[in-house]
Amino acid sequence: MSVTRMQLGLCLAMMGFCPSIFAQNAFQIKGKVDGMTADSVVLFKIVNNKEQFWQKTTMKNGEFTFKGTVDASELCTVHLGAYKSPMKVFFVDKGTTTYHGGIDKEKNLTLAPTIEGNATQDQLNAYEKGKKTFYDALVKLNSKLRDQKDKLTADQKAQIGTKMDSLENALDAYNKQSISTYAKSVVSPYIVKSDFIYGASAADLKGYLSLYSDEVKKSTIVKEINEQISRLEKADVGAEFPNIKLGTLDGKEFELASLKGKVFVIDFWASWCGPCRRENPNMVKLYNDFHPKGLEMVGISLDKSYEPWKAAVEKDGLIWNHISDLKYWQSEAAKLYVIYSIPCTILVGKDGKIVARGLHGAELREAVEKLINK
């Protein structure tokens, strides 16, 4: 090959025929920690809510620097020496990000840092500033309700409760509006993941993702949301119920598939769960009223040990089928059905399709009655 052709090939590559060159954006993090002089600093990426080692450096005179490249904004945190709390997540993006923190030596912990500079992190700061106004107001009302509970009348408590409900609704609206406001930034999927992913349906999450450009969709967070959609679609409304076989209280095995052809409720709960125990009387009444008409129920416990599970079943009068692998939040059934909070019910129709998720009380009763009488 002639020198001219080699030079031409190199020029073409430099002009864009090697897209990976231009996919990388240079970044640096310039840090300063008051009260520290020399120690290790470790930078982690946050992937699926877990820390993933990225880089390590050493501070000098309380200052440190990280440099590198990113394809897209990365959600990160740092560990300062042996200090591990409180952690603050932030975005690394092209350009310079400044990190200014401090140490409370008496309490032996790090102070919440100020992090700013790159465009994505500045947007996150703006969003969190707005969110903080709602949290501050809620904390103030909750403190009043707690500290003055013996002095407040029933009407005053009710008024505070109404104000708190109103603030929570306003916060929810703010979060949803922010998803659209920051749709051109990875801040938007960050909000979806932080505030909506665990209660949203697959259709809800797909709706959020439809707002994003191809650039935003490259982010790790969007990949995590897509993984959540894939899990949900297997156990969401309209899907065939996932089968599972687990141990019963008497040491046998029970398989959900044995209930196909019947209307049944799967109730995720645990003996240690206060809201679950308070809901149990409603579940007992539901079962007593509709079991003679064909309703079946299966309790899936997220307990860690046998005795508390058995005692709660007996004390609360839960006379239907009960199964568990006693793995707490690592329960195989909870993973399969994408359960993040309890109590949580799954209502299944005679055709084996999931009809509803998360219904309780009157809503669950109404849905069961419709299916039984269908």
* pLDDT tens profile 165-194: 999 999 999 999 999 999 999 999 999 999
Judge whether 55 lies within some domain. yes
Residues 221 and 150 in one domain: yes
Residues 221 and 131 in one domain: yes
* pLDDT tens profile 68-108: 999 888 999 999 998 877 679 999 999 999 999 999 888 88
- Output the pLDDT for position 23: 57
What is the average per-residue pLDDT within 350-364?
Answer: 95
Residues 213 and 282 in one domain: no
> Does pLDDT of 12 surpass 90?
no
* pLDDT tens profile 276-315: 999 999 999 999 999 999 999 999 999 999 999 999 999 9
> Does pLDDT of 141 surpass 70?
yes
Task: Name the token pair of 242.
Answer: 């996932």
Residues 108 and 146 in one domain: no
Confidence of residue 109 (pLDDT cuts 50, 70, 90): confident
Return mean pLDDT, the chain. 90
Q: Which of 114, 145, 176 is the last residue of a domain?
A: 114
What are φ and ψ of residue 300, in 5° steps? -115, 110
* pLDDT tens profile 259-276: 999 999 999 999 999 999
Q: Which of 94, 114, 134 is the last residue of a domain?
A: 114
Residues 103 and 178 in one domain: no
Long-range contacts at 168-171 (CB < 8 A, ≥ 24 apart): 168/138, 170/134, 171/131, 171/134, 171/135, 171/138
Residues 167 and 229 in one domain: yes
Q: Which residue has the higher pLDDT, 251 or 18?
A: 251
Quick one: what percent of the chain has pLDDT higher than 70?
A: 93
Q: Which of 203, 233, 263 is the last residue of a domain?
A: 233
What is the average per-residue pLDDT within 350-358?
Answer: 95
The CATH number that applies at residue 29 is 2.60.40.1120
Cβ atoms of residues 68 and 55 within 8 Å: yes
Kindly give, in sequence order, each residue whose CB lies less than 8 Å from that of residue 174, ignoring residues fewer than 6 positions away: 130, 131, 134
Judge whether 239 lies within some domain. no
> Does pLDDT of 5 surpass 90?
no
Residues 258 and 367 in one domain: yes
Residues 343 and 256 in one domain: yes
**Which ranges of 200-259 does DSSP label H, i.e. alpha helix?**
202-209, 214-217, 220-233
Q: How many angstroms separate the CA atoms of 277 and 273, rounded?
A: 6
- Output the pLDDT for position 149: 82
Judge whether 40 lies within some domain. yes
Judge whether 91 lies within some domain. yes
Judge whether 197 lies within some domain. yes
Residues 183 and 217 in one domain: yes
What is the average per-residue pLDDT within 241-267?
Answer: 96
Can you point out the beta strands (E) in 176-331? 245-248, 253-255, 264-269, 296-301, 321-324
- Output the pLDDT for position 3: 39
Residues 253 and 229 in one domain: no
Cα angle 343, 348, 354; round to 5: 90
* pLDDT tens profile 189-244: 999 999 998 878 899 999 999 999 998 998 889 999 999 999 999 999 999 999 99
Judge whether 238 lies within some domain. no
Judge whether 23 lies within some domain. yes
Residues 10 and 126 in one domain: no
Kindly give, in sequence order, each residue whose CB lies less than 8 Å from that of residue 48, ignoring residues fewer than 6 positions away: 224, 227
> Does pLDDT of 258 surpass 90?
yes
In terms of phi and psi (left: phi > 0; alpha: psi -120 to 50; beta: otherwise), the region of 40 is beta
> Does pLDDT of 4 surpass 90?
no
Structural domain harbouring 368: 245-372
Quick one: what percent of the chain has pLDDT higher than 90?
A: 79
The CATH number that applies at residue 266 is 3.40.30.10
Residues 192 and 299 in one domain: no
In total, how many domains does the chain have?
3
Task: Name the token pair of 287.
Answer: 């079962």
> Does pLDDT of 22 surpass 80?
no
Judge whether 240 lies within some domain. no
